[in-house]
Structure 1
Amino acid sequence: MQNEWDVHQTLAAIALHADRLATFVDQIQPDKWVAAGAPQAYVAQAKTCRNEVRGVAAASRELSRNPEKLTGALELLFRIRTLESMLGSLGEGLRKYQNPPMADLLNAAVAENLANRDRLQQYILELATEKEQEFRVADQEAQRCRQSISRQPSHESAQPAKPEKN
């Protein structure tokens, strides 16, 4: 399993990358594309990308405070993958309606984070495996305790029988 320092470094790099992407995404102007015949959906998509890129940065910083939180790690990975997909689509619009070299820069900027995303994904797999092992050990211990308790004589059978009154 990755050590805590490496996990914090990866999460910090993801947050920093998202901050840089946010300034880049802010330069994309799909509202001007509509006048050139672009679908209106690009405007909503750009807004979603702006929100999502800031969400990735915030989620990464939050996870860094408690990196053992599997649900937080999964949420971050899903957000990153969703953002990559949306930015790919937005990049196509950027290439067609605004600035092809800027679209290349966007694709390159997204690709910069692939190694961090892969490290996060590997960490999640390791964390999930560790949690499963912990659960298995806890379950085995609980079963052992239940068996031990069920073998003990009950209080009723341990007490002498009361004599009957005539």
Structure 2
Amino acid sequence: MSRKVITLCYRKIIDATNISTWDKFVHEDSFAEFKMQAQFYNQEERFTTFAEIVLNVPEAEKLHFLVSAAITGYLRQLNGIIPDVLDNLGRRFLTFENFKFELINSDINNLEKHKVAINFFSKPLVWHDTIDNLLLVSQFKESNEDEVFTNLFQIQPFVSIHAIKNID
């Protein structure tokens, strides 16, 4: 029997309006790193925003990667669990190995305008069924066990199926 194996992507957007302590630390530290790294691409101090720097200095696209170094410690604190996505029992259950950090907007003179996204990519899941508006999934394992533990959850905003594969 064919199984569908999916990878989910959760896009967590962090800006000045976030209230959790973890989000605030990511916001502040990524802003400080952006200001420091942006100096290399803006040595004449002609630009103040991320958009202006990238538009005028194409190599500045590297800022996404360079600024991500400031938040890797915070990602380790998550112990491989994607934040904010809960199953129908209210538990965090999605695990991740990969992420992609992205600068959405920033202004070197204004922390309030700094906005980033962290795209978390789940470990592979087996998609067993759809029940009403809920997905029934389990962790993907190579072996076909008789019994598997499942999670039932509703796809929420900023969560999507990133990849799908049929396995025989």
Fold shared by both chains (TM-score > 0.5): no
Higher percent of residues as helix: 1
Higher percent of residues as strand: 2
Bigger relative CO (Cα 8 Å, ≥ 6 apart):
2
Higher radius of gyration, 1 or 2: 1
- TM-score scaled to structure 2, two decimals? 0.27
